[in-house]
Structure 1
Amino acid sequence: MKGYNSSTEGLCCCEYENSQGERSHILACCCDCEAFDQAADRCLTCQRVPKGTMEKLFKTVEDRCRLPGIMGQGAVKVRLDVMVPVVTIPTCLFLATLGPVMTFLMLLAMPIFLLWFYRLWKRNTKRENTLFFFSWGLMSVVTVFVVFESCVVGFREILLWEHLLLLTAMFLMFYNFVKTKLNVPYLKSSKRQRSFANTIQSDRRVVYPDESVKVSLEEMTTEDLSESDVKWLDSRPISDGKLITWCQSCNLRKPPRSGHCNVCKACVSVRDHHCVWIDACIGADNHRSFLLSMMLFVFCGYYGAHLSMTTLCTPKMYFDWFLFANDCRFLYIDLQTAASFVITCYSLLAATCMLFGLLFQFLLISQNLTSQEFHVASKRNLLKHGLFATQNVYNQGFIHNWFNFWMTGRSDTRTSVISL
């Protein structure tokens, strides 16, 4: 299997060239793995596995993790951080159908195992950019949707308009997620820099609702400004007692409210945060679509769970309008019913976690604040009651903040100031 150059002979669908340039086969993935043998011996003798051995093991596993190819170029390499959620989620959800105890254990153990693996993978591969959480989220949504359509809808208890409403909400959710991922407002071109310079010339001085904090845009964009002179809440970093407005990585001057993302390797206009679940930064141009997708995700999770439970359990009508589950004694009577109940529980957990993030976004938008600015305010002790930022020069009041967010969107400066 080894010892000759594959470039002189074609590869079959299950063959590949490993990292040493040798020809190998998928079925030999467990053969001659010195790092695996050393790690197994250490674990069996209850000894700590050396860091170098773990790094070598992860490199070997990633090199041998492949699927048969159909393009005539041999087996296709699969990313380990993508493959683990794809295998783990359906397996754990299937085991959860064995009974109520297994449902509780699997829904508890699955996220713990995935987070443990992610930490182990990141520590041994030293990679910042990963599709692990994107794979986790996408595989969860696909699994829940397939089980719902094949099992829950199969009971024929859901009305047509209810089914269409849920499908429409899911379509809009995916549309807004894709829109969010494709419209990341990176700061790269000189055109954006010239636009910002024109903004400074047109708005020489601004007045904010808090009269105790007055600052010109020239001061907000001045390089080497002392930390003591930064009297406003600024998202840009302060290093060595000075406000840093020049990004060495991107070779551009960062306007107010922007930030550099170490994962995307770029500066983002009005950066809120980097969302690992869609593997994209949230900023000025995609924040609204991101918020809409979060709202639709929560709606689909709770509404889908409601439809599932009123299908699986004997429902009861309240106030001649609200239908709720009443008798739920037969949730594990067969695989179809158990699978429907398990994905309902999983949907409720996911929707509840998303709901907390959505409420946090509502809090930030109500103050015209970004997550990055909130983090800076926490570090500079500019938070009141741990929730409300002080010295926030962008806050124009609850109604005006929401109007700007939905109607005009957040920009670098102009949507956040009042010109004289």
Structure 2
Amino acid sequence: MKWEKLKPPDPDDPMCCCGCDIYQYSCCCDCEDLDEAFTSWLKEKPPSCGLQSPVFGTMIDNLEISMIPALLLLPLLLRAASLHYLLGIIILTALPGLVLSYYYATHRRKRRTLFFLTLALYSLAYMYYLFITEILPRGDVSPLQMSVVTTGMILTIVSLIHTKRGPGFVADSLHEARMDAEVHSTHSDGSIQLAAPEKTRKQPPSTKWTLCPVCKIMRPPRAGHCRTCGSCVQRLDHHCVWINSCVGQANHRSFLQTVCVFVLTSVYGISLVLRSLCPCQYLVTALFYCPGVYSQPSTALCFTCCWYSSIITVGLVYLLVAQVLNISFNVTGREAQLALRNKKGQSRLWGLVVDTGEHSRGFYQNWVEFLTMKDSSVSFHSSPTDLV
């Protein structure tokens, strides 16, 4: 059996087929060595270089062994925080600093890493595990409520997978298709006429294609270069480390959907836990005062995890509000940063949004444009006028 070469990397993944970071090292590893190692393995021939084979090295690199201590320390820190409320305040306050310190100590040389994504998914799974093992046996959660929490978990993961499909990277063929669409225009009778050059010259600066100084390719309006991914993204909003991907024209809606579903599921799950632990308290006050919750280790751990989930939820609520306001003013996160840097935008709503006044067409039209926008690389195949 002839071993086929591995497929080339996707445009949203700056990794070669061997799994090495092409932006971290000056040259990529030899894919031929990996093919030969797999061929020897299939023929039951041990590789000549033993444990230092490319197969073994690639598996070690992809596993990211440095993530294991962080995943082990998180439940230990939460259990230590549940011993006393003062200890919980200290640990939960210092936890973000500990996570960032560990990240910079182990992953600072990697531009793209699964550190934050793995930590987020592990935290989500651990909270769900405690909900099933500690809260559900108490009998205060109905089957319908349990199904709602489970459905929210599944929808969050499905939305995250859809978001990870790619933000819409700019390719060379995109500009070529755009030029063909401008040069040739088809009339209703089927005749073809060359487009007037003056029409292209009279376009406003906001609709002109620009040359990326890094990628050396022509990119459409509102596109930006991501230094982390090393590529230009259509309608770039920002690079999110929690999903290890950019947020652009192709996945901005699914990213907003993921945040919304997670926030709703988290708030609903926290309310169910607090109602089970503190049935005689209001939900708002139960998070700050719940008598007798530290009498048992299990209830103290669940109460501490409520605080842990609440801190994460508050951060995501702020992100959700900022995203909704930016969409309402038709401004991306990258455009807001450039406007503040160049002092061309106006800060509104106590600094939550920067109004550039360049692309806004009103609240309703801005949301219609956001909900109906399509990937330009796909739109050119169907209609050249679909470009946002």
Question: Please, what TM-score do these two structures have when normalized by structure 2?
Answer: 0.72
Deviations 1:168-223 (A, max 9, x none): 12211111111000132111251x223333565679899xxxxxxx961588436x
The answer to whether the Cα contact below 8 Å between 2:170 and 2:233 also exists between their aligned partners in 1 is yes
The match for 1:166 among 142, 145, 149 is: 149
Report the structure, 1 or 2, having the larger helix content. Answer: 2
- Which residue is 1:145 aligned to? 128
- Which residue is 2:341 aligned to? 379
Matched residue SS, 1:315? coil
CA–CA separation in structure 2 for the residues paired with 1:132 and 1:86: 10
Q: Is the alpha carbon distance of 1:361 and 1:409 closer, same or farther for their aligned partners in structure 2, counting shifts above 3 Å?
A: farther
CA–CA separation in structure 2 for the residues paired with 1:111 and 1:407: 37
The match for 2:110 among 127, 150, 174 is: 127
Percent identity for Structure 1 against Structure 2: 27
> Which residue identity does 1:96 align to in structure 2?
A
Structure 2: 5+ residue stretches without partners: 1-44, 186-194, 378-383
The match for 2:313 among 351, 371, 384 is: 351
Superposition map of 1:259-274 within 5 A: 259-274=224-239
- Which residue is 2:208 aligned to? 221
> Which residue identity does 1:292 align to in structure 2?
Q
CA–CA separation in structure 1 for the residues paired with 2:312 and 2:385: 37
Q: Is the alpha carbon distance of 1:410 and 1:380 closer, same or farther for their aligned partners in structure 2, counting shifts above 3 Å?
A: farther
> Which residue identity does 2:64 align to in structure 1?
R
CA–CA separation in structure 2 for the residues paired with 1:323 and 1:163: 22
Report the structure, 1 or 2, having the larger strand content. Answer: 1
Matched residue SS, 1:332? helix
CA–CA separation in structure 2 for the residues paired with 1:361 and 1:140: 24
- Which residue is 2:82 aligned to? 97
CA shift, 1:142, in A, is 1.4
CA–CA separation in structure 2 for the residues paired with 1:378 and 1:72: 48
The answer to whether the Cα contact below 8 Å between 1:313 and 1:325 also exists between their aligned partners in 2 is yes
Matched residue SS, 1:267? strand
CA–CA separation in structure 2 for the residues paired with 1:193 and 1:408: 18
Q: Is the alpha carbon distance of 1:200 and 1:113 closer, same or farther for their aligned partners in structure 2, counting shifts above 3 Å?
A: farther
- Which residue is 1:88 aligned to? 73
The answer to whether the Cα contact below 8 Å between 1:367 and 1:401 also exists between their aligned partners in 2 is yes
- Which residue is 2:163 aligned to? 180
> Which residue identity does 1:140 align to in structure 2?
S
Deviations 1:128-159 (A, max 9, x none): 12222112211211111111111111211012
Q: What value does the CA root-mean-square deviation take over the aligned residues?
A: 3.6
CA shift, 1:270, in A, is 0.9
Q: Is the alpha carbon distance of 1:343 and 1:333 closer, same or farther for their aligned partners in structure 2, counting shifts above 3 Å?
A: same
Q: Is the alpha carbon distance of 1:217 and 1:193 closer, same or farther for their aligned partners in structure 2, counting shifts above 3 Å?
A: farther
Aligned pair count reads 319
CA shift, 1:316, in A, is 6.0
Question: Please, what TM-score do these two structures have when normalized by structure 1?
Answer: 0.67
